[in-house]
Structure 1
Amino acid sequence: MPLPDTMYCAQQINIPPELPDILKNFTKAAIRTQPPDLLLWSAAYFTALSKGEPLPVKDRVEMNIATQKTNTGLTPRLLKVLHKETCCKEKLQEKWRVLSLPMDQLATLLLLGNFSSTINWMEFFALSCSSLGGNIKTALKFACEILTEDEEGGPARIPFDTFVKLYTYLAHLDGDIPQDQIDSFLRNMQTQVDKQNGMIQERGRPTEERKEGIKGTN
């Protein structure tokens, strides 16, 4: 004789107190990231969560306005997800697959940068920004927006030495920019940075001290 189905009442079911928050955060992350392969992404999400690693999550939904699609290849916010931790080639391929990005796009970037099993992340990052922007100026704009700690819509500032490394790498990769032009551009940028830092320091001085400084230049 088969055993009767076990009957449970609400008092017998133990629901972990943290479960609702875990599920709510997971749902919000899935909605923001819009992964084409939800099961693959979910496995990566909970694996990262259990290990305390950066989650493969966008900070908000990102949609291509022209096509109204979310799976159009690498985007600034997906690159920001990838940037959360430096990784080797194998790990990068895994994260790329989790985000359902085109593997041929990754292969092209690795080939262009001549990367081996160990990847210089900032060089790969710069090359990825170039693939988003199409030219060095736009690539650096994307890089600043992704790397900045300023609030969204702000000046998107990054350390000048980071800017120098990104620009120098892309300029050398381009191959058509003479070294003296690279050096001249960076000198001009350094002058602008020094001037801006001087203005910030001046604004931070007390009013009477600023007046004395102005008098001293006359």
Structure 2
Amino acid sequence: MPPPETIFCAQQIKIPPELPDILKQFTKAAIRTQPHDVLQWAAAYFSALSKGETLPVKERIEMPLAAEKMDAGLTPGLLKILHKQLSPKGTVTVAELKEKWKHLCLPEEQLDAILQLDNFGEEVKWMDILALGCSVLGKSILSSMKHACEILTEDPEGGAARIPFETFSYLYFYLASVDGDIPKEETETFLHKMKEQADKQAGMVLLRNFLPPLSTPF
């Protein structure tokens, strides 16, 4: 093996022209995402970048409320990253879910606890995991659904956070069934009321009509 080339002057150092922009974008992404383990997250970031996959990057910094403390656990911003990465597939393997979870430096035991809430096999519907993730973030089924609306909406930030009634109905019914304490009749009555309101809004649910303001760390 020939010895490594000795560098005698700066002119011998060749810097790829795209490197400064790559590093700039990486730095911005790290600041927005605030990963708990920078090295682990960086490996996932550049792996996704090289494969043309969705990057594990938050849209913006999550600012905790005065009464809250950000830790290594799930947040709305991180759940939204997972949704962007996994929702196109519809159904994903638990192994792939765990890999993406790990890339975001989230605690494995938190995902294990979520998976124990239902009888999952080796594959899971992503929307079911999204619903259960929102239930971790919310203190009630309605606040959980508000998190889901914030994550799924195509409305601009701070807007109405509308989602299609079909999507809302699926998530709400699923969470109610997992909860087990909400009577089926009560669930059906609530969804019927939401459907009536959605029909007046081109089929879109506006949950804020049914909830007091809920501050979220977006």
Deviations 1:58-116 (A, max 9, x none): 11111433477542411100100111122321111112122221211111100012222
Question: What CA RMSD, in Å, does the superposition of the two structures yield over aligned residues?
Answer: 2.0
CA contact (8 A) 2:72 2:105 kept: no
Q: Is the aligned partner of 1:37 residue 2:40?
A: no
Higher strand share: 2
Greater shift in the superposed pair: 44-53 or 16-25? 16-25
Map 1:110-121 onto structure 2 (within 5 A).
110-121=115-126
Map 1:60-209 onto structure 2 (within 5 A).
60-66=60-66, 69-86=69-86, 87-197=92-202
CA contact (8 A) 1:113 1:127 kept: no
Secondary structure of the corresponding residue to residue 83 of structure 1 = helix
CA distance in 1, matches of 2:46, 2:140: 37
Consecutive unaligned residues of structure 1, counting only runs of 5 or more, are 199-218
CA contact (8 A) 2:134 2:148 kept: yes
Structure 2 residue identity aligned to 1:47: S
Structure 2 residue identity aligned to 1:186: L
Q: Give runs of ≥4 in structure 1 deviating > 4 Å.
A: none
Structure 2 residue identity aligned to 1:50: S
Deviations 1:138-181 (A, max 9, x none): 00000000011111100001111000100110111111222222
TM-score (norm 1): 0.83
CA distance in 2, matches of 1:170, 1:107: 18
| Alpha-carbon distance change, 8 to 119 in structure 1, aligned in 2, over 3 angstroms | same
CA contact (8 A) 1:63 1:69 kept: no
Structure 2 residue identity aligned to 1:48: A
| Alpha-carbon distance change, 68 to 109 in structure 1, aligned in 2, over 3 angstroms | closer
**Structure having greater relative contact order (Cα 8 Å, sep ≥ 6):** 2
Secondary structure of the corresponding residue to residue 78 of structure 1 = helix
CA distance in 1, matches of 2:71, 2:14: 39
Structure 1 residue identity aligned to 2:114: L
CA contact (8 A) 2:155 2:161 kept: yes
Consecutive unaligned residues of structure 2, counting only runs of 5 or more, are 87-91, 204-218
CA distance in 2, matches of 1:88, 1:154: 34
CA contact (8 A) 1:136 1:170 kept: yes
Counterpart position of 1:7: 8
CA contact (8 A) 1:64 1:72 kept: no
Secondary structure of the corresponding residue to residue 191 of structure 1 = helix
TM-score (norm 2): 0.83
CA distance in 2, matches of 1:136, 1:94: 28
Greater shift in the superposed pair: 81-90 or 40-49? 81-90
Identity %: 58
The structure with the larger Rg is 1
